[in-house]
Structure 1
């Protein structure tokens, strides 16, 4: 009987030690299971998915073309480029709103710095917030009514000489 109790105690101790080590070295936050981590990971971390193209124009002449993902509903617009560790330089996100109004964006949960271009209903760039600060909860306002917003990597507008007054086509 004593040997059986000792064996049970050793097995129980081994289970606790292995369980503790697995918990300590687990790649998932406490309280999360592997299934939760996969299903709760925002799709945006999976990588860029081309859904369209934008051409930047000045006086009707093409400046630059990029591939874009499109955020056209409230859920996609709320998430934007949050949680992305990387965005190709030839890519961005186009936000399409139902109306033209003053817009405010922020960088909460956004890992990479961005240039945020606010575009009016006529598809003219009305303001550019350059090199926005990652993770910032500070409001980044449009400087007028915007119906569209384009987010690209920080420095994109400088590298490609994109300015307020230029236009987009998509």
Structure 2
């Protein structure tokens, strides 16, 4: 038993010595070069923010007669939610997407900064009609991807989604 306690004591002293302050410290004695961040988002995961299903969205053909595809969506309605978007996520299924809802109709432009997955960015007018699509957006790119037309909604889905499910200009969406 005593040998076990001695081993624990020696290991503790060794670990304490390894983490000894090297002079790069703040007033509380924490080594700022290795200190962990003090704030962590509750929804943060190793895959970025966790997906939260908030609605279901359907893609409707131009004629409105056929439903082309249904997906689960997370909504981005506030400035903060729209700024974060799908940044830092490593994966997303074809059954998921994020719908950005803006208060007005304006020409929009998105970029892929801090976004690790290729996306199709679908711009949608206030009448729910798709007015523009930017396909296969390059991950981590800071290139502006404009709508070229006024849009109130922007939907982000996996890159290649529009080609795979035949989603195009003039098709419509409906969500609830």
- The two structures share one fold, judged by TM-score above 0.5: yes
2:48 match: secondary structure: helix
SS of the equivalent of 1:157 reads helix
- Determine the C-alpha separation between the residues in 2 that align with 1:42 and 1:104: 26
Contact 2:60/2:171 (8 A) holds in 1: yes
The 8 Å contact of residues 42 and 83 in structure 1, kept in 2 or not, is answered as no
Tell me by how many angstroms 1:17 deviates.
4.5
2:45 pairs with 1:45:
no
Match of 1:93 in 2: 98
Structure 1 regions of 5+ residues with no counterpart? 1-9, 21-28
What is the match of residue 19 of structure 2? 19
**Partner in structure 2 of residue 120 of structure 1:** 125
RMSD between aligned residues:
2.6
CA contact (8 A) 2:99 2:153 kept: yes
Secondary structure of the 1:165 match is coil
In structure 1, distance between residues paired with 2:14 and 2:59? 63
Give yes or no for the alignment of 1:131 onto 2:136.
Answer: yes
How many correspondences in the alignment? Answer: 152
1:49 to 1:107, Cα distance in 2 relative to 1, 3 A: same
TM-score by length of 1: 0.80
Structure 2's unaligned 5+ residue stretches are 1-9, 21-31
Secondary structure of 1:38's counterpart equals coil
Offset, 1:89: 1.2
Q: What is the distance in 2 between the residues matched to 1:46 and 1:75? A: 13
Q: Which residue of 2 aligns with 1:26?
A: none
In the TM superposition, what is the alpha-carbon distance from 1:48 to its structure 2 partner? 1.2
1: distance between equivalents of 2:75 and 2:92?
Answer: 14
Matched, 1:149 2:150: no
